[in-house]
Structure 1
Amino acid sequence: MYAAVLRTPYALRTFCAALVGRLSYGIVSLSLMLAVTDATGSYGVAGAVLAVFGGASVLLSPLRAVLVDRYGPRRALMPMALVYAGLLAVIAVVAWRPGAPGWVFVVLGLAAGAGTPPLGPTMRAVWGRLLEDRRLLQRAYSLDGVAEEVLFVCGPLVVGVVLLWAPAAAGVALSAVLVGVGTLGFVAVPVVGDVVPVAREPRARGGRLVGRLRQPVVVTVGVGLALGAADLLVLASAEAQGRGGAAAWVLAALSAGSAVGGLVNGAVDWRGSARVRLGALAGALAVALGCAGFAPGLVGLGIAAGCVGLFVAPALTTAYLIADEEAGAAFRTQAGAWVNTAVNAGSSVGTAATGALVAHVPVAVCFVVAGGAPAVAALVSGLMPGPREVPVAA
């Protein structure tokens, strides 16, 4: 069933090139944190660098996607990739030897984050061009989501291997090489590089996009809040039982569950409304996460985390499908970027809010509160007024 997706002309070549570039994102955060810590001797500086790097990357993602939609992947992505890779290379050189002032890393981290190429949203937009059959597109998005999950699991392992032979700055340099090579291979594929930007469709006055992205964006904010909270709550639960190191295995179970859920979701030929399905998946995720707080022991928590994961990839895949369907060809990358930004921003806020909450409230209650986020988001999105026109960049 997934073979039909990859047999589509140019699909396998395009997907593999994009994955090479996206592996950089699975490596860069840990490498950057370790390299800056080694160079400055300060976890505070490393945290500040990661904060500005991640913040700029997430919040400016829709703007970078606008450039891809407006000028096409080749003209927009390659300059971004060259600037981004170049700044990572500079960070690697500066961090190779201790002694550089912290503010230099903060400035470089902010600049690099601002230029992160939107390879994920662009790849999903390319899937939309390659596959007209909505069932195949659902499978492609599921496959894409599972592959991305695997990349972010493998990224820290790659960093661990690098550290056996070189300083952490080498991991930052490797991230630069991967994003440069991956993006170059990606835009070299004719189905990507030869894309001519679609003229702005008169779907709404003045080049406006029908505002039907509210549900996928709002729901994915809720999913992100839940995931950000889950990461911290799993660690808190493991440390409370004197086995903080076991948190990694519990989170691995969540990722494995997400991969399984994504593959199953892509294999099913859903016939109902995607919007109804997204609300149901958010509700199921809420119940699973709320129950996880009452799981007995770390083994029970690992099983519960796997059950939570079963609904993560399907929820995100469904949100991307809705966004693609509503956006139209001229705004595909932007639509996917908004969903991507929503889940990442939600995750950051969820981690921060849970950090403040867990010090005053029992962990089990925190799980219930975190589980409520996607349910409330789905309810709020359902109660919002009907679609109206909202401005997008033209």
Structure 2
Amino acid sequence: MTLAPYGRLLRRPAVLRLVLVSLVARIPHAAVGVVLTLHVVGTLDLGYGHAGVVAAAMTVGMAIGAPWRGRRVDRLGLRRALLPSVVIEAAVWSAAPFLDYRGLLVAGVVAGLFMVPVFSVIRQSLSVLVPEEEQRTAFALDSVCTELTFMLAPVLGVLVATTWSTTAALVVVGVATVGAGALLMWFDPPTRTALRPAATGADGGDVARAGAAVAGHAGSRAAVAPARVITPALLVTLLAASAASLVLTGTDVSIVASLEEWDRVPDTGWMIALWAAGSVVGGLVYGAGRRSVQPLTLVLLLAVLTVPAALAGNPLWLAVAVVLAGVPCAPALSSITAALVRLVPEHRRGEVMGWSGSAMTVGSALGAPLCGLVIDRAGASAGFLVAGGVGVVVAGGGLLVLSVVRDRRAAAAVVTDADLDVAEPEGPVPGGEVLAGRTAR
């Protein structure tokens, strides 16, 4: 494996700065899940099922809010679209640490509804700054950076929660969430070629030059963009996003529960970091390669490799299992993003990225409470089994449907060509060369 593709990518104007900003802005998003779980289980003294419901409440809000926030980014530009999120998130997270369980559920919905769309904005900007032939590498690097954030943020969240309190940890998460929104508004990366700022100076000049370098690529894609945005291919990609999110959320809850069973809660941070480390390795290898893989195939692999974690009888074996389970994670997520960018025109990309976020939050909304309830009744190992098993069923079923659809289309094409051969008269006819060309294809 060579890392040369990443070197070429990072030498492109504005890309390196965008990657660094994304690392910082994603920290609160990566920490909030484990902090909320510890707060509900520890401070509020409730079960993992209750913690899963809080996570589900937030993800339901995100599922509702992501598409219209993406649409606002498409229509208004980044700064105007993010301002309401920053203001409302500041209010919600100022109150959330001091609420009872019911109040926390309401706060979770509102926080999700106005969550700063860091992930979709960064990926949307990469699709503008990077030409199509390098986008698979760019999205793989983005997924790797996401995993690096998930290696650091939960460790910090658990450290604050166990050293001081989960209330203090939630306060820190809230402040960091508002800071992430303000950072994105300050940097204002381009999300559309048409909305690229005509700025001067180091940052603005680099962004403008980067946009100009890929304007031809974006223009050519827009010229042939399909009129329909909702297509079977898009729906399959959104299904892959939901399945991946379900597996990952269920694994996250199961890791915390396993360590709690073994009275090793302070080890949660580094265990999740090892899980993310496996994803980093997988993402780097996938991004440096030359072949793209169907998203559902990678999600199926992700689900299958999650199941062995259920057999871990101690923290050492769990560490080995989560590294293995993490390897397909970044490739699956980057493959989903790359597919979305290919499937939709640029002027609808923010909205469709929002739909992808909604699909992932639906997966989270199902995965967290489902695995949490199973863990409460059957133990932490059952959580891994449910997460992996459901992922196998969803991804495997999606691949089976795709195979059936492809076979039917192939059969229809054969029938059509046979009809053309039978109907073809002897001797030349006007337009005969067109029919011959169609049959040959």
**TM-score, normalization by structure 1:** 0.77
In the superposition, relative to structure 1, how do residues 104 and 66 fare at CA in structure 2: closer, same or farther (>3 Å)? same
Q: Specify the alignment match of 1:340 in structure 2.
A: 357
> CA RMSD, aligned part only?
3.9
Change in 2 beyond 3 A, CA 1:239/1:371: farther
| CA positional deviation for 1:269 | 2.2
Q: CA deviation at 1:297?
A: 5.8
| Structure with more helix by fraction | 2
Contact 1:27–1:171 (CA<8 Å) still a contact in 2? no
Give distance in 2, aligned partners of 1:264 and 1:231.
Answer: 24
Q: Give the conservation status (yes or no) of the 8 Å contact 1:230–1:370.
A: no
Question: In the alignment, which residue of structure 1 is the partner of 2:111?
Answer: 112
Q: Does 1:22 align with 2:20?
A: no
1:284-299 to 2 correspondence within 5 Å?
A: 284-294=301-311, 298-299=315-316
Q: Write the letter of the residue equivalent to 1:72.
A: G
Superposition deviation, residue 322 in structure 1: 0.3
Instruction: Please say if residues 69 and 332 of structure 1, whose CA atoms lie closer than 8 Å, have aligned partners that are also in contact.
Output: yes
Q: Does 1:132 align with 2:136?
A: no
- Residues 1-394 of structure 1 aligned to structure 2 (within 5 Å): 1=4, 2-31=6-35, 41=44, 43=46, 50-91=55-96, 95=98, 104-135=103-134, 137-162=135-160, 168-189=166-187, 191-192=189-190, 196=194, 203=225, 208-234=229-255, 242=262, 245=265, 251-270=272-291, 274=292, 276-294=293-311, 298-357=315-374, 359=377, 363=382, 366=386, 369-370=389-390, 372-373=392-393, 375-380=395-400, 382-383=402-403
Q: Distance in 2 between matches of 1:172 and 1:163?
A: 8
Q: d(CA) in 2 for partners of 1:313 and 1:152?
A: 12
Distance 1:221 1:164, change over 3 A: closer
Distance 1:159 1:329 in 2: 36
SS of structure 1 residue aligned to 2:233? coil
1:61 deviates by: 1.7
Distance 2:354 2:96 in 1: 26
Give the equivalent residue in structure 2 for 1:391: none
Assess, with a 3 A threshold, how the Cα gap between structure 1 residues 286 and 106 changes in structure 2: closer, same or farther: closer
AA of the residue aligned to 2:70: A
Are the equivalent residues in 2 in contact too, given 1:31–1:169 (CA < 8 A)? no
Distance 1:18 1:370 in 2: 31
**Contact persistence 1:204–1:210 (CA under 8 A):** no
Give yes or no for contact 1:285–1:374 (8 Å, CA) kept in 2.
no
Deviates more, 1:254-263 or 1:223-232: 223-232
CA deviations on 1:19-51 (whole Å, 9 max, x unpaired) are 33221212334555667889x856488776554
Q: Which runs of 5+ in 2 are unaligned?
A: 197-218, 407-441
CA distance in 2 between partners of 1:16 and 1:195 (Å): 22
Task: Give aligned pairs, total.
Answer: 372
| Cα deviation, residue 8, structure 1 | 1.8
Percent identical pairs in the alignment equals 24
Whether the 8 Å CA contact 1:61–1:118 is kept in 2: the answer is: yes
- Distance in 2 (CA, whole Å) between partners of 1:172 and 1:235 is 17
Distance in 1, matches of 2:147 and 2:238, equals 20
Deviation, 1:88, is 1.8
SS of 2:82 mapped into structure 1: helix
User: Distance between the aligned counterparts of 2:153 and 2:372, measured in 1?
Assistant: 25
Cα offset, 1:250, TM superposition: 5.0
1:310 deviates by 1.0
Q: 1:157 to 1:360 in 2, by over 3 A?
A: closer
Instruction: Tell me how far 1:119 sits from its aligned partner.
Output: 1.3
CA apart distance, 1:258: 1.0
Structure 1 residue 327, shift from structure 2 partner: 1.3
The alpha-carbon deviation at position 311 of structure 1 amounts to 0.9
CA deviation profile, 1:32-79 (whole Å, cap 9, x unmatched): 5667889x8564887765543332124422222122122221221223
**Which has the higher mean CA deviation after the structures are superposed, 330-339 or 68-77?**
330-339
Q: Is the partner of 2:177 in helix, strand or coil?
A: helix
Whether contact under 8 Å (1:324, 1:332) holds in the other structure is: yes
The letter for the 1-side match of 2:80 is R
Q: Which runs of 5+ in 1 are unaligned?
A: 387-394
Higher-Rg structure is 2
Task: Mark the CA change 1:172 to 1:244 in structure 2 (over 3 Å): closer, same or farther.
Answer: closer
* Structure 1 residues 70 and 211, CA gap change in structure 2 (3 angstroms): farther
